[in-house]
Structure 1
Amino acid sequence: MATSPTRIGLIHATMNSVQPIHDAFRAQAPHVILLNFMDEGLIFELNETGVITTAMIRRLVALIARAEESGVDGILLTCSSFSPYVPQIRSLFSTPVMSADTSMLEYAVSTAQRIGVIATVGTAGPITTQQLQEIAVEQGKTVEVQTEVITEAFVALQNGERAQHDELIHQKIRELSVTNEVILLAQMSMARALLSLAEPPSTPVLTSPEISIRTILHLLESKRVARS
């Protein structure tokens, strides 16, 4: 009997995360069916207030519930600012729920001691830094994290000034490459900037789409094998 295609629900807080994750799925796993669930008001409120509220988490949970009701096999959150809440949120659902950046952070800590972080949303920088430190404790390691937040890049992208967005990120990559062993782009919307780099960076730059796809598909395959 033929197995039905894998269906992944993508939870977005901004349109800017849609193309990077779709492009990565097309390149790595074109057989996967993607269903998108979005609340752009979340990222606008987060940028305005800098605070994640209980009401915002309820809205996020409602999106995940819609994805589960649609019969997806797994759910992937594409907004890194909400990643710290995923461990509590996933306990509410029978469908596997993952944050797109967790695997990237774990890989960075396992391979480097000096880690540079670039973010374009104010809350994403500190959240990513804290998560890296927590993962380092779990792995029994010590890491040095240098974080740069360039909110003007996010504004440029929202205004359609993509070249300006990318160049601001390129500048930070060059700066952080001097003192760090690896660089993380904290948000999925930033991955596009690597496509326009004139030269390969001297330091590895990690983005979440590719790593998160491998991780969630491996998780779903492991569950499928366990059931069979």
Structure 2
Amino acid sequence: MKIGLIHATTTAVNPIVKAFQEESTPVELLHFMDTGLLPMIEESGSLTPEIIRRFSLLVNLAVQSSVDCIQLSCSAFNNVTKILQPLYPMKLFRSDEAVLDEALAYERIGLISTVKETPIALMSYLKEKNPKVSVESLVEPGLIHFLMKGNKELHDRRVREMVHQLKGKVDVIVLSQYSMEHIAAQVQSTVPLLTAPRASAKRCLSYLRTLTSI
């Protein structure tokens, strides 16, 4: 079985690959990346037609590679799945849907993001699933670029500080970007701290098992 992974940043690759490896299920991972997409959405602030067309090029490449499903790894682009899914026969998974479904078991959800557009995509999903859910969002726009430039210490410290800012305000905290997955082990949180890669890998593989035995 083949899974197409669509990336907008290099920082998302290792966390999702590791998550699939930890599941110990024999699948082939094919990577499709366009690092120009993140600057485009940061500049525009939304999914413009140009961004959607450019993103669809990655999906087309995955489809032409005969993947069995497609997993996004960048949360800022999650809402593009609604637009593109009707055009393709295989399932397109948002980067966050599995972890957000876990978070919806709680009444007060905290979101921590390092890309400005991410909370928009995440909150639209949460509110669609449960209009009454309480969401507290903290975002530091552009913080992911420190990680991309090698300043992991500053990136991790600021994310840890945002986790502490939510203390006592929420029942669960979601680290929105895949690139923050490693920080969960750095924080002693009084509430569950959820990350997306492992949850996404589990859901993706569970879906494939409905297609065939692997």
| Number of the residue aligned with 2:45 | 50
Question: Radius of gyration: which is bigger?
Answer: 1
Larger mean CA deviation between 115-124 and 175-184 belongs to 175-184
Contact 1:165 1:193 in 2 (8 A): no
- Structure 1 residues 63-89: Cα deviation after superposition (integer angstroms, max 9, x where no partner): 011111112111101111121221231
CA distance in 1, matches of 2:191, 2:40: 34
Matches within 5 A, 1:63-212: 63-109=58-104, 111-137=105-131, 142-195=132-185, 197=186, 199-212=187-200
Q: 1:13 deviation in Å?
A: 0.8
Q: 1:152 deviation in Å?
A: 4.8
Q: 1:127 deviation in Å?
A: 2.3
Structure 1: 5+ residue stretches without partners: 1-5
Contact 2:116 2:142 in 1 (8 A): no
CA distance in 1, matches of 2:210, 2:142: 41
| Number of the residue aligned with 1:3 | none
CA distance in 2, matches of 1:9, 1:52: 21
* Cα 1:179/1:88, change in 2 over 3 Å: same
What SS does the aligned partner of 2:78 have? helix
Which of 1 and 2 has higher RCO (CA within 8 Å, sep 6+)?
2
Q: Percent identity?
A: 32
Contact 1:177 1:183 in 2 (8 A): no
What SS does the aligned partner of 1:44 have? helix
Contact 2:184 2:195 in 1 (8 A): no
- Structure 1 residues 107-127: Cα deviation after superposition (integer angstroms, max 9, x where no partner): 211x10111000000111232
Report how many aligned residue pairs link the two structures.
213
Contact 1:157 1:165 in 2 (8 A): yes
Provide the aligned C-alpha RMSD in A. 1.5
Q: 1:30 deviation in Å?
A: 5.1
In the TM superposition, structure 1's runs of 4+ consecutive aligned residues that sit over 3 Å from their partners are none
CA distance in 2, matches of 1:182, 1:212: 18
Contact 1:12 1:37 in 2 (8 A): yes
CA distance in 2, matches of 1:48, 1:85: 17
Q: 1:200 deviation in Å?
A: 2.8
Structure 2 residue 209 is the aligned partner of structure 1 residue 221 = yes
CA distance in 2, matches of 1:31, 1:211: 17
Contact 1:100 1:212 in 2 (8 A): yes
CA distance in 2, matches of 1:175, 1:29: 36
- Structure 1 residues 33-78: Cα deviation after superposition (integer angstroms, max 9, x where no partner): 1110001100011123323211111111110111111121111011
So what's the TM-score if we normalise by structure 1? 0.88
